[in-house]
Amino acid sequence: MVSRYYKGIQVNVFGLPVFSSSKKKQNKKSHRRVRSLYHISFLSHFKENSPKNLIIIYDIPENLKKERDWFRRHLIKFGYIMIQRSVWVGPSPLPKDFLDYLKEIKIGDKFKTLKLAKPYNSSISAIA
């Protein structure tokens, strides 16, 4: 028997919709979807009131969007705040296992860190 479809719905020879009572209905997209690997998660060892004395500047390309979003989530988890789109400031130093993992997922060379002489104070106005 040949299945016929009209606007995404299976129809019979007369063009009337056919509703199957079987529960094997699956979304074709999710059935064929290959599950991607998820990145590991790191715990923050920084205290909430740690001095923000490290600037991170990064430029992670669009083809590594998942890695870039993962990186941003971990910066927030570590207590970093965004100064500009790809410039963040927070406590130092970053954990060694975190830096090793960045190299493993190939974004370890896409950012620079700068140590501040004095901790960053977000209450000071830049226009003053």
Express as a percent the part of the chain with pLDDT over 70.
Answer: 79
Residue 70 has pLDDT above 60, yes or no: yes
pLDDT at 89: 95
Whole-angstrom Cα distance, residue 117 to residue 112?
A: 16
Looking at residue 25, its pLDDT comes to 53
Q: Is 16 part of any domain?
A: no
Q: 64 lies in a domain?
A: yes
CATH of the domain at 111: 3.30.70
Q: Report how far residue 15's alpha carbon sits from residue 9's, in angstroms, rounded to the nearest whole number.
A: 10
Helix (H) or strand (E) holding 72: helix 65-77
Give the E-state strand segments of the chain in sequence order.
4-6, 9-11, 54-58, 81-84, 87-90, 111-115
Looking at 14-18, 52-56, 100-104, which range is the least confident one? Answer: 14-18
Kindly state whether residue 71 falls inside one of the protein's structural domains.
Answer: yes
Residue 18 domain-assigned (yes or no): no
Tell me if 82 is assigned to some domain. Answer: yes
**Domain count along the chain:** 1
- Domain residues for the domain of 60 are 54-115
Residue 47 lies in a domain: no
Cα 10 to the center of its chain, rounded Å: 38
Percentage of the chain beyond pLDDT 90 is 41
Q: Is 68 a domain residue?
A: yes
pLDDT band at 73 (very low <50, low <70, confident <90, very high): very high
**What average pLDDT does the structure give for the chain?**
82
